[in-house]
Structure 1
Amino acid sequence: MGAGRHREFDEQQALEAAMRCFWTNSYSGTSMAALTTAMGIGKPSLYAAYGNKDALFLRALGHYAACYAQPHLKELEQAGAPLRDRVRRFLTSVARMTCDPSLPGGCFIAETTGESGGDRLPAQISATVAAMNAQTKARIACAFAHDFEVGDLPKGTGPEALASYLLTIQFGLAAMGRCGVAADDLGEAIELAVAPL
């Protein structure tokens, strides 16, 4: 691409398409040909705009986190709302998104986490998804700091333990969504998950 020329495609739209391609097929199951087809661009344009496959995957993960994962956390951060209600809204939000038929199903971060063991992913991608999970866990724990201070958490449970619990439940909901379970069918599981709170 010459100096001063603008790209002839919408980079955000192409990134969304790449994210959905990776989300559907995983890092290892996605070829460059599949990416260029999904994004509607040629390899030279892909490399010029995003770098190599690893760099594009990392951009896609970041896009997913910002647009699809982070909004759920706002449900936990509603000041003044009872703990059980906030957790129920969070898990319901997760279930709706992971079961949304207009999306690939499940959770892109959960899928990548499952793929990160062994040598299935480049080390930088494994480290990035581990850091994302640690940041999410820390943000969830932070949302429970006030509940802990006022004694609203279950006896013997700290914010970090509750954050681990919710991250585990979230990944379980994502797995069910990936299998095609409808969000409405996860309501009882969500109620069981919030019952101890």
Structure 2
Amino acid sequence: MVETRGKKKAFSESTALNAAMEVFWQKGYAGASLSDLTSSMDINKPSMYNTFGNKETLFLKTTEHYIKTKMLPHMALLNAPGLSLKTRLKNHIMSIVNMQCDASNGSAKGCYLVLCQSELASGTVPPNAAKALREVDLAPSNLYEDLFLKDKEAISAKLHLQAAKNGLAIYTLLKGTASMARTGITAIALEHAVDTMLNGLGL
């Protein structure tokens, strides 16, 4: 049992993390106040500190939660059997774009990570959180680079010769669609940009 709003109440840590994630996703690290977080999580500040630690520790946990629940499901699409590389890439990219543009379940639009990473230059993100965001920022480009280096169709199309550049191009596209999604651009409208990118790679 955890005490919340003066009463003993059991709550799901996963549900609370999801609520905190939505606040950071909407407002960024600096913009998310403790009051915003505890109100959304439906717990008081002592309960938050006792269960999740301070704001920075909570942010690290919500970042891990975001990666596991929101990003990892898209990864399997890159290696779906029986599909061409272009189809796999498009399914993967559009799956992410659809998530970025979807606010039907109360989620903020765009990308949690892209929004928070944009705050790094301001110096408002504390050291451990900043380190985590920078480390996470390296992963997508490396993932796509690895795909281009190892995928047989990619090698046949000679995409492995510029694997790092091709990986960065896809990640740059997804950062751009995240920003556009926050302004209200639809996934249908952004699909043309995805097709143009894939055609530009020679797929």
Q: Give 1:141 deviation, angstroms.
A: 2.1
Q: Does 1:157 align with 2:162?
A: yes
Q: Which amino acid aligns with 2:59?
A: F
RMSD: 2.0
Q: Separation in 2 of the partners of 1:167 and 1:175?
A: 13
Report the count of equivalent residues.
193
Runs of at least 5 residues in structure 2 that lack an aligned partner in the other structure: 3-7
Q: Which amino acid aligns with 1:56?
A: L
Identity, % of aligned positions: 28
* Counterpart mapping for 1:60-139 below 5 A: 60-102=62-104, 103-139=107-143
Aligned residues of 1:15 and 1:39 also touching (Cα < 8 A): yes
Q: Give 1:157 deviation, angstroms.
A: 2.1
Hey, what does 1:171 align to over in structure 2? 175
Q: Which structure is higher in RCO with an 8 Å CA cutoff and minimum separation 6? A: 1
Runs of 4+ in 1 over 3 A off after TM superposition: 147-150, 153-156
TM-score by length of 1: 0.90
Hey, what does 1:29 align to over in structure 2? 31
Q: Give 1:155 deviation, angstroms.
A: 7.8
TM-score by length of 2: 0.87
Runs of at least 5 residues in structure 1 that lack an aligned partner in the other structure: none
Q: Give 1:171 deviation, angstroms.
A: 0.6
Aligned residues of 1:147 and 1:153 also touching (Cα < 8 A): no
Q: 1:87 to 1:184 in 2, by over 3 A?
A: same
